[in-house]
Amino acid sequence: MRIVSGIQPTGNLHLGNYLGAIRNWVRMQDEFTAQGHECLYFLADLHAISMPHVPADLAANTREMVAALVACGIDPERSILFNQAQVPAHAELQWLLSGTARMGWLNRMTQWKDKAGKNREGASIALFTYPVLQAADVLLYQATHVPVGEDQKQHLELARDIAQKFNNDFASDAEPVFTLPEPIIPPEAARIMSLRDGAAKMSKSDPSDMSRIDLTDGANTIMTKIKKAKTDPEPLPSEKAGLTGRPEAANLVSIYGAMAGMSVDAVLSEFGGKGFGTFKPALGELLIDRLAPINTRFIELRQDQAALDAILRKGAAMARALAIPTLEKTYRALGLVRD
C-alpha cells in the first residue's frame, strides 16, 4: 500500500482545509506508517501556475504551507513531504501521459469548466491539462490510496482512466505499468462551510475574514468569529432532521462534531433545546483548545525558512528516488530510447 496526496500552496490554511483534508492525512500517516507503508504528501506548486499568480507569493505560500502541515501533525520523519517543483519526474510523467489522456475526458472535468468559465479561449493550457499532472502525481509512485476531498473525486477517476488505457495500450496484463489508485474521501467534515453563509464553502478567497477560522487565529479571534457567525434565532434541535433548512446551524454543529470526534446526533443530544448563546461559547472553547497547539507550532515554524527548506530538500530527494522505476518503465513502454 502507498498513500499519496497533494495540496495547492494557497495562502493561509483554514479550518476547512484542516478538517477536510489535513487531519485525514495525519490519521493516515499515523495508521499506515506504523504498518511500514509509505505516505507521500506534497505541495502542488506546479499546479499553482495554472492560474495567474505572483511568483514571490507562490514561494512564500509554499514554505508557509509546509509549516502549517508540520504544525498540524505531518511528521517529516515518517511521511515524505516535498514540493513537486523539486521532483522533475512529475512534469516528465505528465508529458508521457499526455498521449493517452483524451481531449473529451478533460473537457468533462467540472473544475476546468468552473475555473475557465466563459473564457475558455483565454484560459491557460495548464488549467486544461491540470488533471493530467494530477494523474502523474499519483501514478508516478504507484499510489494505492489517495486521500482527497469530494471535489477531487472526478480527477481521481480520470487518473484511473488514464492508468487503465495506458496499461491496455502499452503494457501486458501480466506486467501493468501503473497501479489504479483508490480515492479515500473522509465521510465527516469533508465540507466545512463559511461562517457567514451556510451555502458557500469556507474558502481562503472569501473577502470576509469573518467567514473562516485561519490557523493563524489566536484564541480571542477564534471566539469573536464564532460568536459573530451567522445563525438563526431558533434553539438547536435534538435530532439531525431538525437541521434541514438551517445550513448555518448545521455547519456549526458539524464543526463541533468533527472537532470533538462526535457524531452530529451526539452533539445534538448534548445541545438540543439550547440556544446559540450556550452553543457558540462551547464551540469557541473547543476550537481554541484543539487549535492552540497547532497555532503555536505554526507561528514558530514559519519563521524558520532554513528548517522548512531542509524538510523539502530531504523529502524531494526521497521522492526522486521512489519515482525512478515507474518513470523509466513508462519511457520504455512508449518505445522511447533511454540508454
CB 137 within 8 A of CB 152: no
Candidates 165, 201, 274, 280; catalytic one: 201
Give how many residues touch ligand TRP by CB under 6 A: 12
Task: Given the residues 115, 240, 274, 329, select the one marked as catalytic.
Answer: 115
Strands (E) in 152-292, as ranges, are 182-184
Listed residue (277, 282, 310) closest to 222, CA to CA: 282
The C-alpha cell that represents 63 in the structure block: 514554505
In 10 A of CB 25, how many CB atoms?
Answer: 23
Question: Shortest CA distance to 63 belongs to which of 313, 283, 286, 321?
Answer: 313
In the complex, minimum distance from the CB of residue 137 to ligand TRP, in angstroms, rounded to a whole number: 4
Tell me the per-residue interface mask from 45 to 84 with ligand TRP, x by CB under 6 A, - otherwise. --x-------------------------------------
Taking the complex as a whole, the smallest distance from the CB of residue 295 to ligand TRP amounts, in Å, to 23
Q: Is 175 helix (H, G, I), strand (E, B) or coil?
A: strand
* 240 catalytic residue (yes or no): no
Contact yes or no for 63/305 (Cβ under 8 A): yes
Single-letter amino acid, residue 118: K
Grouping H, G, I as helix, E, B as strand and the rest as coil, residue 183 is: strand
Cα–Cα dist 36/314, whole Å:
19
Q: Which residues of 252-276 are buried (b: 16+ CB within 10 A; e: fewer)?
A: bbbbbbbbbebebeebbeebeeeeb
Stretch of residues binding ligand TRP (CB under 6 A), selected from 2-10, 257-265, 269-277, 314-322: 2-10
CB 236 within 8 A of CB 283: no
Chain mean position to CA 36:
23
Distance of alpha carbon 183 from alpha carbon 191, whole angstroms: 16
Considering beta carbons, is residue 8 or 216 the nearer one to ligand TRP?
Answer: 8
Question: Smaller CB distance to ligand TRP: residue 47 or 302?
Answer: 47
Comparison of 183 and 198: residue with beta carbon closer to ligand TRP: 183
Residue 116 or 210 having the CB closest to ligand TRP: 116
The residue annotated as part of the active site, out of 204, 274, 280, 314, is: 204
Binding mask 30-49 for ligand TRP (x = CB under 6 A): --------------x--x--
- Out of 2, 6, 61, 93, the only residue in the binding site for ligand TRP (CB under 6 A) is 6
Per-residue x/- track, 132-161, ligand TRP (CB under 6 A): --x--xx-------x-x---x---------
Q: Contacting ligand TRP (CB under 6 A), which of 8, 144, 179, 238?
A: 8
Nearer Cβ to ligand TRP (8/203): 8
Residue 115 CA to its chain's centroid (Å): 18
Q: Site residues for ligand TRP, window 98-137 (CB under 6 A)?
A: 134, 137
Give the nearest distance from C-beta 162 to ligand TRP in angstroms: 13
Active site residues: 115, 201, 204
Binding site for ligand TRP (CB under 6 A): 5-8, 44, 47, 134, 137-138, 146, 148, 152
